[in-house]
Structure 1
Amino acid sequence: MAYREAYEVVEPARADVDAAPGTVLLEFGAPWCGHCRAAQPALRALLAGYSDVIHVKVEDGRGKPLGRAFGVKLWPTLVVLRAGEELARVVRPVSIEDLAPLAAALDE
């Protein structure tokens, strides 16, 4: 799976995210968030090179348990996981250079 344009209508459970096969990139944000929209070109460019990554866009907000489980405070927050283990995190990226920690984790 590559870049996903739309946010999930129903957020996945933490157990489902942890049990996902392979590498998962969780993106916490909202479709109306200016910071989230500004990050999309860089994120799309990053994921173009990783077709095997599962990209999950989670529409976050007050009372949403998955975002709270990951301690999300600002949007967008991007988290790379493998077997439920957090490998990298980036908050409010603007450029492809800001996503370097995610690329390094995806290359592991």
Structure 2
Amino acid sequence: MRNRRIIDECFAADGALATPAIESDSVAGLYAHLPGGRWSSVISHAWLHMFGVPEGMRVVPLEGPAHGPRVGLVVARTEPASVVEQALRPPTREAGVREALDELLHSYPHGRG
């Protein structure tokens, strides 16, 4: 699982070792185990928009530099620009997705754990 490897690398970069008890290839699978209160999970804050925070749980933002892959729009360097590029470029610059997700993360009560 690629995401498991990314998480392991992030922990290792900070000198920590995670010993998983449950692994899933879906965020929904991870969320299914949370309401019982026995488990915790490392997920991207982007999923808070869809799933929220289960009752009795809290969000603990990870500190330090962001790790992991970035997502971007890659287009051919041609003139004139393709119709698809012309259509996608303005909304990708103006969408503010990162800011919206960061705001969502900080809208949930959280603490140190």
Q: Please report the TM-score for the alignment, with normalisation by the length of structure 2.
A: 0.23
Q: Relative to total residues, which structure has the larger helix share, 1 or 2?
A: 2
Q: Which has the larger radius of gyration?
A: 2
Q: Please report the TM-score for the alignment, with normalisation by the length of structure 1.
A: 0.24
